[in-house]
Amino acid sequence: MRYIHCLNNISKYGTDLLPESYQLTDDASQATGILVRSAAMHDMQFPENLWAIARAGAGVNNIPLDRCAEEGIVVFNTPGANANAVKELVVCALLLGSRDIVGGIAWCRENADDANIAKTAEKAKKAFAGREVLGKKLGVIGLGAIGAQVANTAIDLGMDVYGYDPYVSVGAAWSISSAVHYVKNLDDLLATCDYLTIHVPAMESTIGMIDAHACDVMKDGAVFLNFSRDTLVDSAAMASALESGKVHAYITDFATPEVMRMPHAIVLPHLGASTAEAEDNCAMMAVRQMVDYLENGTIKNSVNYPACDMGPVREGTSRIAVLHANVPNMISQITNAFGEEGINISDLTNKARGEHAYTLLDLDQPATDAVLEKLAGIEGVRRVRKVK
């Protein structure tokens, strides 16, 4: 029996996918796998039997990735599972930034007791006049699952779309409309576009990337949307740009004390992936990836170990997974351990990602306790698991 612990409420559409040999548990110390959404895990002590953590969502800043890698715990996320939900909210934000819809709604509420509100509104509405997005230039920073969908939808809305992403994947590139103009220099995109939206992960190279320089380069009166991570935008720089009128509006999904003090900011309470469909999709994807890893050793969409797929374990063979440091001579030490025990390796795959590596081995006979002990004793080996 394998035990799965949910740190947050996880959609039943996901947990119902667990095989019969799996059981949900309230005791984290029993867990073979943990399913999580937003719960903070940095202060958690992980049990020795924990093999995987699956985040039902894209962001993983609530999980100690490096410590998990050192302890041989594979961390998964679910990129793209909530992309449509976020895309739809970004489209909504585009309209909020082009028409003073928020101001108009507030005016109606404030004048709710006016018996002649219909007539009064005809005079008042000119204060909330805006512009159409048709024919305007939209700059999309980051062309991953969400950015690509935003770009394609903006094309359908009749916008002139420019995209910037020096690391765009081949898969993402195929999904992006050919009508999107690819820009190699971020400053060129910032200076060209009427609307800008950012869709990149928060990491050392991207945190604070929308700084004072970026704001200065922007086209006068630009509207900036941030539905990715609050830390991507330098709050002081954005506040200054809003106060001067350089940036017309800042629309963000992240309510922080700094942004709540900004003029011309429209702030939402992190609603990007808050749809029933997105939560269901993320939960199902998280469970499928975790089960595939526990059953077959397959790694897909991990954020701390490399992708690796040898398919289902073939009948008549057994499979061993070794999580280890990415250092020279590791493969020969692993294979020698089997050779010394007279065990034949029928198939082997090794993948590396930065400092971390992963080796899957199919054997013609079950691995002995002796070979497992030898593997665990190799310097740089973090965990050894008998998959089947």
Instruction: Please give, one letter per residue, the 3-state secondary structure of the chain.
Output: CEEEEECCCCCHHHHCCCCCCEEEECCHHHCCEEEECCCCCCCCCCCCCCCEEEECCCCCCCCCHHHHHHCCCEEECCCCCCHHHHHHHHHHHHHHHHCCHHHHHHHHHHCCCCCCHHHHHHHHHHHHCCCCCCCCEEEEECCCHHHHHHHHHHHHCCCEEEEECCCCCHHHHHHCCCCCEECCCHHHHHHHCCEEEECCCCCCCCCCCECHHHHHHCCCCEEEEECCCHHHECHHHHHHHHHHCCEEEEEECCCCHHHHCCCCEEECCCCCCCCHHHHHHHHHHHHHHHHHHHHHCCECCECCCCCECCCCCCCCCEEEEEEEECCCCHHHHHHHHHHHCCCCEEEEEEEEECCEEEEEEEECCCCCHHHHHHHHCCCCEEEEEECC
Evaluate if residue 229 carries a pLDDT over 80: yes
The answer to whether 383 and 72 are in contact (CB under 8 A) is yes
pLDDT class for 167, splitting at 50, 70, 90? confident
Find the range with the poorest average confidence among 167-171, 278-282, 283-287: 167-171
> 318-325 and 356-363: which strand pairing?
antiparallel
pLDDT class for 300, splitting at 50, 70, 90? very high
Q: Per-residue pLDDT averaged across 262-270, rounded?
A: 96
Q: Per-residue pLDDT averaged across 53-70, rounded?
A: 94
The answer to whether 73 and 94 are in contact (CB under 8 A) is no
Length of the chain: 388
Q: Per-residue pLDDT averaged across 257-285, rounded?
A: 96
pLDDT of residue 169: 75
Distance CA 196, CA 151 (A): 11
Evaluate if residue 265 carries a pLDDT over 80: yes
Q: What is the mean pLDDT of the chain?
A: 96
pLDDT of residue 172: 73
**Cα torsion at 211, 155, 266, 172 (round to 10°)?**
-60
Evaluate if residue 120 carries a pLDDT over 90: yes
Evaluate if residue 171 carries a pLDDT over 80: no
Q: Per-residue pLDDT averaged across 148-170, rounded?
A: 93
The answer to whether 75 and 53 are in contact (CB under 8 A) is yes
Evaluate if residue 173 carries a pLDDT over 80: no
pLDDT of residue 174: 81
pLDDT class for 201, splitting at 50, 70, 90? confident
**Tens of pLDDT along 231-257?**
999 999 999 999 999 999 999 999 999
Evaluate if residue 170 carries a pLDDT over 90: no
**Tens of pLDDT along 330-339?**
999 999 999 9
pLDDT of residue 203: 87
* Between 171 and 260, the higher pLDDT residue: 260
Question: Residue 384: what are its φ and ψ, rounded to 5°?
Answer: -125, 130
pLDDT of residue 39: 96
Q: Return the percentage of the chain with pLDDT > 90, whole number.
A: 94
Q: Per-residue pLDDT averaged across 358-372, rounded?
A: 96
pLDDT class for 159, splitting at 50, 70, 90? very high
pLDDT class for 115, splitting at 50, 70, 90? very high
Evaluate if residue 57 carries a pLDDT over 80: yes
Question: The tokens of 117 are what?
Answer: 């509100």
HSE-CB for 353 with a 13 A CA cutoff: 16
